[in-house]
Structure 1
């Protein structure tokens, strides 16, 4: 167990040895304004200038490894790919106190990261909490974001998320030591043992899991919760002000953020075309991600 500043833990690097289909060198930043001493990990592949950027944001309880089937397609198209791990996830540091994690703790870190990377011509690629957070970002940087690839997610605007989500939230609240890899395997039957182990890799013990425990509790399912105003402002942005290109893919087997939720989001996003439906895809639809990435690249006219 490696303890860092600000009462956080750092997953030992050997936990990430021999990850399947994951040959990307780790990159780190540990001096983001307001997060000094907390190390944020990110993948950064492809041209450093003169190319579109695919900013890939994971959700709960995954990490950037989730994008391993999509990253090669984006790179083949000549793009740059940046895939950070939120604090509490993946190779990023993990504050140990549950209360550290709030909606704006994560959102402000993401904003500081984008400003540090100083990226332009960005395609936001998001799913799950990658969307709950990521979809609120382009309204603050409308000149940076030109494209959207959105999958199985939504905006937190203070409305109930349904019985399926309530059951998930209750499960996490009553099972603080839940098996992350086992959860991913149940939700994504196509995973093999090495891939399941890769999703478990960030968490040597329950001490590292404060972030994964907190995300379900932060979803804005009632109007007084933190971030509702931000979500409502983002909804207005996507409906009225978004002028970029969009592509949507839906994992049709997702019981919470499946077709009804995504069709509602499609209607919200200005000029969003008919979604790509992944018949066998579940919530973590990136695990069926290669054809999604290829279709998005084609839609955006970026294929070489």
Structure 2
């Protein structure tokens, strides 16, 4: 059994603008004994028989709270919204060994969760590590048949190419700060956050023991040949470029020095159906914090797509 910590529930009391209660799942195959927290809303009585399902995947060092500005827009459209917390983040259990946090550990978890919830008609919504992992999910044939649309924000497919100076600086900073002040970090690039919102990003991590995932993820980005996940990422790049013809929407935080406009333009070249991205010049890396207008623009874009 994986040795893990569970953040006390009282750390998540009175979260601003986040009224949704988590659904806890502790029987994912291969993850027995670990409890995963998932926001699973909408798609109930009165919804279409096969409603769009927005699968919202967070990255480093955030959790599903990051999607609180987008979730209401998706729900108002009649859709189902599923926003899991990756192990090591949010209200999910947090393995204490940094070495646990490999690419496949999280990718297999997401595939198991999608199968467990039998998600269909999926709009994949990704940012940061949510995309580094999530964009590779369609390599699995079982997921591919469930996929309908994509919303991509400040992310990449990591295929072992040399990293940017901005990423190297971030990796070095994270390594030098093993007890990373998460709320303060997010607040620096998102100046409109309130003190209570910054505290919500700190909530999952009572102390340094809970931050193995926060420490591990910057080191796991596939920047060198042979790293875990490169094979799946290369296959995913080919899938998006050659096989996927569904609707795509891209939003870009222009002030992001790590996964900003140049990186997103490179990703766009692998997405033939992606129109001109929505650029938010003042938005930093955590572009979901400008997420209400992003979600609204994505829905309008999808509504304008004519059936093939």
TM over 0.5: yes
Alpha-carbon distance, 1:149 to partner? 0.4
Secondary structure in 2 matching 1:44: strand
2:7 paired residue among 5, 11, 14:
11
2:21 — aligned with what?
A: 25
Q: What are the equivalent positions in structure 2 for 1:122-271 lying under 5 Å apart?
A: 122-140=122-140, 141-271=143-273
Q: Distance in 2 between matches of 1:207 and 1:139?
A: 34
2:60 pairs with 1:60: yes
1:95 — aligned with what?
A: 95
Alpha-carbon displacement from aligned partner over 1:239-272 (angstroms, at most 9, x marks no partner): 0001211000000000011110101111111211
Alpha-carbon distance, 1:6 to partner? 2.3
- Runs of 4+ displaced beyond 4 Å: none
Give the aligned CA root-mean-square deviation in angstroms.
Answer: 1.0
2:279 — aligned with what?
A: 277
Alpha-carbon distance, 1:193 to partner? 0.1
Q: Distance in 2 between matches of 1:6 and 1:134?
A: 23
Alpha-carbon distance, 1:35 to partner? 0.3
2:51 — aligned with what?
A: 51
Name the TM-score, length of structure 1 as normaliser. Answer: 0.96
2:111 — aligned with what?
A: 111
Q: Does the 8 Å contact 2:73/2:295 carry over to 1?
A: yes
1:42 — aligned with what?
A: 38
Q: Does the 8 Å contact 2:50/2:121 carry over to 1?
A: no
Q: Distance in 2 between matches of 1:293 and 1:111?
A: 24
Q: Distance in 2 between matches of 1:144 and 1:219?
A: 26
Q: Distance in 1 between matches of 2:170 and 2:252?
A: 20
Aligned length: 298
Secondary structure in 1 matching 2:199: helix
Name the TM-score, length of structure 2 as normaliser. Answer: 0.95
2:289 — aligned with what?
A: 287
Secondary structure in 2 matching 1:268: coil
Q: Distance in 2 between matches of 1:161 and 1:31?
A: 37
Q: Distance in 1 between matches of 2:167 and 2:67?
A: 23
Which consecutive residues of structure 2, in runs of 5 or more, have no partner in the other structure?
Answer: none
Alpha-carbon distance, 1:50 to partner? 2.5
Alpha-carbon distance, 1:181 to partner? 0.8
Alpha-carbon distance, 1:138 to partner? 2.0
Which consecutive residues of structure 1, in runs of 5 or more, have no partner in the other structure?
Answer: none
